[in-house]
A and B are shown apart, each in its own frame.
Chain A
Amino acid sequence: MELKTTVYQKVNNNKIGKLLRDSLNDMFTSRFLAKQLAIRDIKAQYRQSYLGIIWAFITPLSTALVWIILSKSGTVTVSDTGVPYPVFVFSGTLLWSILVESINAPMANTNGAKGILSKINFPKEALILSGVYKLLSNSFIKIILLLIFLIVYGVGFHFSILLFPLAFLGIIFFGTTIGLFITPLGMLYNDIGKIISMGLGFLMYATPVVYAIPKTGLLKTLMEINPLTPLFLTTRNLLFGQDLDYLIYYFGLFAVCIPLFFLGLVFYRISIPIIVERMSA
């Protein structure tokens, strides 16, 4: 059998095609590792906790509650959303929490593996994949809760709900793409993580998460520019069986996102040795 030859030297990053092929290949071959890491983290998360699953949706639920109270009490008036407000706001905060988690996942997982990154050479793409696995498992529970809401509030199910899982995966894909780009810098400087979490806090209010797009005003313009708007509206409207208004923007978004995702993978792959070097320095 011919032995595989590996070469390490300074210059070998100039062929994007080869890097991407290696990256995807590693992602494919590391499925078991990714699954194992995800199982490990999920098990550990539940084994040391009595409330377990509840933590997965307590945050979106409490945000939703605040908004339900605000609107019920008349403190804040929200425009018509087409579905009962609690369902609207809960689906919004829930999808938002999934988006935030998927943006943070690549960085959180890479950070969590710091210890082994500087000691063992394993396919780093497994960290990204295990992050997606963990997200899916956490989101699964959230979505079941959301479906219960749909029944309780009498929204019911429409045929378009069959497309909802795809749109939902779209959110995770979108978040992971952004996450891939912020991870390298975020691993070097803690500031990045803090800026991202603060920025997302603001961005939530420029996205139709807890209220629909207003009819007029600055916020309307802002929301219509915001790429998260089509992402959220399309996903949610599929769930509720409403009209899909921003479909062109939505597909445009993914037309940009897909190549960016592959670029992000390459960027991540290039950056890991540099991060490891600076961590162990």
Chain B
Amino acid sequence: MMEENEVLVKVDNLSKKFCKDLKTSLWYGVKDLCSNVLGNNSEDSQELRPKEFWAVKDINFELRRGECLGLIGHNGAGKSTLLKILNGLINPDEGKITIKGRVCALIELGAGFNPILTGRENIYNNGAVLGFSKKEIDSKVEEIIDFAEIREFIDMPVQNYSSGMKVRLGFAVAAQMEPDVLIIDEVLAVGDLAFRMKCYHHLMNVISKKVAIILVSHNVVDIMRLCNVVSVIEKGKSIYYGNVEKGVGLYNNLANKESKDSSIISAKIISDTNIDFQTGDTISFQIDINSKEFIKDARILFHLDFSNFRFSSISSKYSEFNFDIQIGYNSFIFQLKNNPFLVGGFFCQFELYGAFLKDYIASSNFVPFQIVGPSVDYSGFGICHTVKLEHEFTVDLKDKSAFVE
């Protein structure tokens, strides 16, 4: 009966309006209420009313059993709104969602907790909100306490728990759900490392049980570890849908980074095709400098950013490349040889300096590039994360008799 690849979630042309102004928003709420109650749908929902915008616009996807879709995008891109619609909390303005089977959402851990009550009592509260019956909770309560690893404190009021303990208890309850479709929003970002790994392990088991998962996260590693398809959301629209590596790179490079003095210094990648590279490729940049004055003993600094994090900087002085900037047009080539980067998106920027650090002149535009392969492996049998390190494993041939038992 259960088809291996049946489509569990189908989203067609989904759109949702939101209002920027609270008073107006409330008034539209009253209007929507009236038109919904009267069953009057003559009003054209395609039109934006004043002060409204599309929080989610024309989203389409299909998700099959055993697949995991990652939704990535910056804050306010519309991911959480999309999740709320998928979870049935709010109705779409346009389009249609069809979901088969039991849907569970890991959007908030520990919903229904009352801080004054003990952990044990709150397991029942949280479980009830998540839709368990009393019998189910009774049979699972010990398992939950063990999973959360807080047996010692289970009869203490939850308000005295550390935030990590609360999250663990919340996840332990939620982990008991047996859904067909699982919606996860950012909850994995909390808790200590050991517990996070436990959560991953659990989710991996869930996937192997053939569940369809929709995961929202800012954490690129989570996405790459769990998802087999991603959708990059920007301003309510899906700007990319498909391969995880490519999508993650796009997301890394999404941040709107414009430079104001690109008329003085500008940079670009020299490539006939695009900005996609493999680990180990050489990446060449052309730097154009248009100077109104002569700069004696100038320097160019190269900066590399990854996920809003300054990953590396190199000055032209390091390799003792000495030059002066002439009035007018100057051009340089910069090559990153045998790049060590793993799958992801990176940003580069060049800065022009005079002889000293105080002689800052200008910064170039940001130049994005992406590493799209070879594949990384987060399951512990390959390499993963940001860089590929030179390494070698060998057997130590030292005389074993040196060990004293």
Mark the stretch among A35-43, A140-148, A156-164 that contacts chain B. Answer: A35-43
Chain A residues with Cβ below 8 Å from B97 are 7-9
Chain B nearest CB: distance from A100 CB in Å?
25
Taking CB as reference atom, which chain A residue is nearest B91?
A273
Chain B residues with Cβ below 8 Å from A276 are 84, 89-90
Chain B nearest CB: distance from A185 CB in Å?
7
| In contact, A278 and B117 (Cβ under 8 angstroms) | no
Q: How far is the CA of A119 from the CA of B94 in the complex (A)?
A: 21
> Does A77 count as interface, using CB distance less than 8 angstroms?
no
Chain A nearest CB: distance from B56 CB in Å?
12
Cβ-defined partner of A118 (8 Å) among B18, B19, B89, B131? B89
Mark the stretch among B28-36, B265-273, B286-294, B314-322 that contacts chain A. Answer: B28-36
> Does A281 count as interface, using CB distance less than 8 angstroms?
yes
Cβ-defined partner of A6 (8 Å) among B88, B89, B91? B88
| In contact, A116 and B98 (Cβ under 8 angstroms) | no
Number of chain B residues close to chain A: CB under 8 A: 55
Cβ-defined partner of A1 (8 Å) among B1, B129, B130? B1
Interface majority SS (helix, strand, loop, mixed), chain B: mixed
Taking CB as reference atom, which chain A residue is nearest B90?
A277
Mark the stretch among B105-113, B199-207, B243-251 that contacts chain A. Answer: B105-113
> Does A216 count as interface, using CB distance less than 8 angstroms?
no
> Does A48 count as interface, using CB distance less than 8 angstroms?
yes
Q: How far is the CA of A185 from the CA of B31 in the complex (A)?
A: 11
Q: Render B24-57 as a binary contact track against A, CB cut-off 8 A, 1 for contact.
A: 0110111011001101010001000000000000
| In contact, B29 and A8 (Cβ under 8 angstroms) | no
- Report the number of A-B residue pairs with Cβ-Cβ less than 8 Å: 144
Mark the stretch among A10-18, A52-60, A79-87 that contacts chain B. Answer: A10-18
Chain B nearest CB: distance from A30 CB in Å?
9
A8-B85 contact given A32-B133, A274-B36, A281-B18, CB 8 Å threshold: yes
Chain A nearest CB: distance from B46 CB in Å?
11
Chain A residues with Cβ below 8 Å from B218 are none
Chain A nearest CB: distance from B261 CB in Å?
39
Interface centre among A3, A117, A188, A270 (most CB of B within 10 A): A3
| In contact, B25 and A122 (Cβ under 8 angstroms) | no
Cβ-defined partner of A13 (8 Å) among B1, B39, B111? B39
| In contact, A115 and B111 (Cβ under 8 angstroms) | yes
| In contact, B112 and A116 (Cβ under 8 angstroms) | yes
Sample (30) of A-B pairs whose CB atoms are under 8 Å apart: A2-B1, A4-B100, A4-B101, A6-B103, A7-B97, A8-B86, A13-B39, A14-B39, A33-B128, A33-B131, A40-B125, A43-B114, A43-B116, A44-B116, A118-B84, A119-B105, A119-B108, A120-B105, A120-B108, A120-B111, A120-B130, A184-B33, A188-B29, A188-B30, A267-B37, A274-B29, A274-B91, A276-B89, A278-B26, A281-B18
